[in-house]
Amino acid sequence: MGYKELYDGWKQDPDAFWMKAAEAIDWVEKPSKALFDDNAPLYEWFKDAQVNTCYNAVDRHVEAGNGARTAIIYDSPITDTKHKISYAELQTRVASLAGALRAKGVEKGDRVIIYMPMVPEALEAMLACSRLGAIHSVVFGGFAAHELAVRIDDATPKAIIAASCGLEPGRVVHYKPLLDGAIEQATHKPDFTVIFQREQEVAALIPDRDFDWHGFQAGVEPAECVPVSGDHPAYILYTSGTTGAPKGVVRPTAGHLVALNWTMKNIYDVDPGDVFWAASDVGWVVGHSYICYGPLISGNTTIVFEGKPIGTPDAGTFWRVISEHNVRSFFTAPTALRAIKREDPKGLLIKDYDISCLRALYLAGERADPDTIEWAQREMGVPVYDHWWQTESGWAIAGNPAGIEALPVKIGSPTVAMPGYDVQILDEGGHPMKPGELGAIAVKLPLPPGTLPTLWNAEERFRKSYLTTFPGYYETGDAGMIDEDGYLYIMARTDDVINVAGHRLSTGAMEEVLAGHPDVAECAVIGVSDALKGQAPVGFLCLNSGADRDEAEVVKEIVKRVRDQIGPVAAFKLAVVVDRLPKTRSGKILRGIMVKIADGAEYKMPATIDDPAILDEIKVALQTIGLAK
């Protein structure tokens, strides 16, 4: 069966399509049907089923006789460590950790925050939560204490599982002081924490609150898998929205299992036992879906890579990992390849390794620029498939269904809509647009299994953010077009979200931090083009009159403030002081024009601009930091 037949088959009978996909999951109680639409426009999938995620990701493979198969390969060029964990070992470790969490009172429905670097224990912590039906929320290690505190207050976790430290090239990330600071700042206090002590930095534990990862498992009864209903939240993952308050994307258990399992063969073209590698971080959705759950649910071997594309130790690391571990499908962000290409433009390091095991490269997380795709195709000698999705969807909205039928690649397009997604381009009034016309990208409701049913604690925000602009559709926040052949093109965000090195960040959140500085009267943050990271944030500051301050000092304080409050991941390094910001007559800051000026692009003077002369001032200010050339 080809793509078209499959997609049309789904469209004709979505319930039959998803019930068939659901046969690959081991249910405690099977679902009676796929879609539950009684609460439309909020939808649920496989709601009346009983199932356990951890059982499907771990135990069932052991019971099927595949316990000796490698589940996780840990490869850490940063610590010079490599080891393998079989499915049987993983089952023992996860059951023990879950048992210890249960002994301390963690039960079905309780939230557990996980703040860990790229070590196998991060996956074990996630799986131990799903074993108990507890709802985990993983927080990326590059976020600072304040961001962690915000998530603690929203998710109100019973426990927090953390490592003593993370390791960035040349720098130890002191997780424990960050964790202590976050708990101190947060209004909600967890009952206890579990600390995985790494030998690179052993943290001091607070008696009766902090428990040692190994110590607290001693003598406990291993936990069995606890069945949950199909709509039970498997996890919450916070992502950037327009304001400083992150959105808690909820992932429903059953749809997540069915959809991810479906993607492993149909999109990533791997069979059980094949090695699949996503070079991302468990703190992002790619890490949830394709380092942890997807590959394990379908019985693959996954790689936990603690390193960077360059510098650990060189730009050949990815090729070493691929060849050494026999990787069949590889997934990374375009930024990582741009970093490698910059260091090794001729791909010489690739030739040091035999990467003939690799069948295809998958890119997502940000726009894949044609240069990078062409370079990868040429130097790696495999097809390069761009695919487009979001934290909210949890899996590809558009991609190249290589496991069904590899469609011709059109560079610049993440190819076509996957079954489950009726993707349309809408004008401002919500009317479908013609092929080739640029508009808002929306998906006709219902979204397929595995996608977000709501936001944690914020159903109204869910409706307002995604369902209100275009009634009957999910608003993706991306703009683009579909060509005559049905290929999708993603052009830009329609909101204040920017994408820095494949990391989704909110300029609104950064503006809140800037505005909090005592000398700042007004501010704006924009995302300018960056050759390596795709985009980079730049801040504009108008100082209070009478703030007799050295401007360079204020800029330094602002840069530190963003790093301390949001975290190093914001990569906020550039800011300028200006007298005023360009605005419309009604007072709206013209951020779009500022981006164009910074990028040296053409722009049209908006008719509504209050004072066009300000644009020249902005240009001059940007030139002082090497932009607007």
Sign of CA dihedral 53, 237, 75, 193: negative
Q: Give min distance, CB of 172 to ligand AMP, in A.
A: 26
Binding status of residue 307 toward ligand COA by CB under 6 A: no
Q: Per the structure block, which two tokens stand in for 317?
A: 């690391």
Query: Is residue 501 involved in binding ligand COA (CB under 6 A)?
Result: yes
Task: Kindly state the DSSP code that residue 610 receives in the 8-state scheme.
Answer: S
Taking the complex as a whole, how short is the minimal distance between the CB of residue 391 and ligand COA, in angstroms? 10
142 is in the binding site of which of ligand COA, ligand AMP, none (Cβ under 5 to 8 A by kind)?
A: ligand COA
- Alpha helix ranges (H) inside 23-158: 53-54, 60-61, 87-103, 120-132, 145-155
Which residue number, 286 or 590, has a Cβ lying nearer to ligand COA?
A: 286
Q: What is the token pair recorded at 283? A: 């703190």
**Least distance from C-beta 218 to ligand COA, angstroms?**
30
- DSSP per-residue letters across 471-488: TTEEEEEEEEEE-TTS-E
Residue type, position 121, single letter: E
Minimum CB separation of residue 242 from ligand AMP in Å reads 13
**Which DSSP category does 408 fall into?**
P
Report the C-alpha gap between 606 and 614 in whole angstroms. Answer: 13
Q: Are strands 398-399 and 416-417 parallel, antiparallel or unpaired?
A: antiparallel
Please identify, using beta-carbon distances, which residue of 248 and 283 lies nearer to ligand COA: 283
Residues in region 357-416 near ligand COA by CB under 6 A = 365
Q: How far apart are CA 551 and CA 146, in angstroms?
A: 26
Binding mask 256-295 for ligand COA (x = CB under 6 A): -----------------------xxx--x-x---------
Residue ranges with strand state E in 367-467: 384-386, 398-399, 416-417, 423-426, 439-444
State the DSSP code for 503. E
| Residue ranges binding ligand AMP (CB under 6 A) | 239, 285, 364-368, 386-391, 414, 477-478, 490, 493, 499, 504
Residue of 223, 333, 593, 628 that binds ligand COA (CB under 6 A): 333
Pairing of strands 159-163, 192-196: parallel
Contact between 336 and ligand COA by CB under 6 A: the answer reads yes
> Which is closer to ligand COA, CB of 139 or CB of 578?
139
The only residue of 482, 498, 505, 569 in contact with ligand COA, by rule CB under 6 A: 569
* Smallest gap from residue 620 Cβ to ligand COA (A): 28
- Contact of 105 with 158, CB cutoff 8 Å: yes
Cβ burial of 546 (10 Å; 0-12, 13-18, 19+) is exposed
Q: 45 vs 331, which CB is nearer to ligand AMP?
A: 331
- Pick between residue 67 and residue 295 the one whose CB is nearest to ligand AMP: 295
For ligand COA, the binding residues in 164-193 under the rule CB under 6 A are 166, 168, 173
Residue 254, contacted partner among ligand COA, ligand AMP, none, CB below 5-8 A by kind: none
Applying the rule CB under 6 A, the residues between 129 and 168 that interact with ligand COA are 141-142, 166, 168
Q: Are 409 and 383 in contact (CB under 8 A)?
A: yes
Of the candidate residues 248, 294, 309, 399, the single one contacting ligand COA (CB under 6 A): 309
Our CB check for ligand COA shows the closer of 225 and 500 to be 500
Helix, coil or strand: residue 367? coil
Binding mask 522-561 for ligand COA (x = CB under 6 A): ----------xx----------------------------
Beta bridge partners of 419: none
Please tell me the distance from the alpha carbon of residue 132 to that of residue 110, in angstroms, as a whole number.
9
Per DSSP, what are the bridge partners of residue 405? none
Taking the C-alpha atoms of residue 367 and residue 449, their distance in angstroms, rounded to an integer, is 25
φ, ψ dihedrals at 526, nearest 5° = -125, 165
Q: Look at residue 391 and give the partner it binds from ligand AMP, ligand COA, none, a contact being a CB closer than 5 to 8 Å depending on partner kind.
A: ligand AMP
The option from ligand AMP, ligand COA, none interacting with 280 (CB < 5 to 8 A, set by class) reads ligand COA
Cβ-based nearer residue to ligand COA, 172 or 601:
172
Please tell me the distance from the alpha carbon of residue 451 to that of residue 259, in angstroms, as a whole number.
9
C-beta of 59 vs 386, nearer to ligand AMP: 386
The residue from 122, 186, 282, 310 that contacts ligand COA (CB under 6 A) is 310
Sequence-distant (≥ 6) Cβ neighbours of residue 516 within 8 angstroms: 561
- List the Cα angle 165/304/334 in 5-degree steps: 100
Residue 367 binds what, of ligand AMP, ligand COA, none (CB under 5 to 8 Å, by partner type)?
Answer: ligand AMP
User: Do 434 and 499 touch, CB atoms closer than 8 A?
Assistant: no
296 φ, ψ (degrees, to nearest 5): -70, -40
Q: Which does 568 bind (CB under 5 to 8 A by kind): ligand COA, ligand AMP, none?
A: ligand COA
Q: Which is nearer to ligand COA, 335 or 390 (CB)?
A: 335
- Piece in contact with ligand COA (CB under 6 A), picked from 100-108, 122-130, 534-542, 565-573: 565-573
Stretch that binds ligand COA, among 60-68, 248-256, 329-337, 617-625 (CB under 6 A): 329-337
Q: DSSP of 193-225, one letter per residue?
A: EEEE-BTTBPPPPPTTTEEETTGGGTTPPPPPP
Binding partner selected for residue 339 from ligand AMP, ligand COA, none, CB under the kind-specific 5 to 8 Å limit: ligand COA
Biggest CA–CA distance in the chain, Å, is 74
Separation between Cα atoms, residue 398 and residue 259, nearest integer Å: 14
Residue 501 touches which of ligand COA, ligand AMP, none (CB < 5 to 8 A by kind)? ligand COA
Cβ proximity to ligand AMP, 305 vs 388, nearer residue = 388
Q: Who's near 170: CB < 8 A, 6+ residues apart? A: none
Tell me, residue by residue from 456 to 495, as one string, x for binding to ligand COA by CB under 6 A and - for no binding. Answer: ----------------------------------------
Instruction: Give the footprint of ligand COA on this chain (CB under 6 A).
Output: 141-142, 166, 168, 173, 279-281, 284, 286, 308-310, 333, 335-336, 339, 365, 500-503, 532-533, 568-569, 571
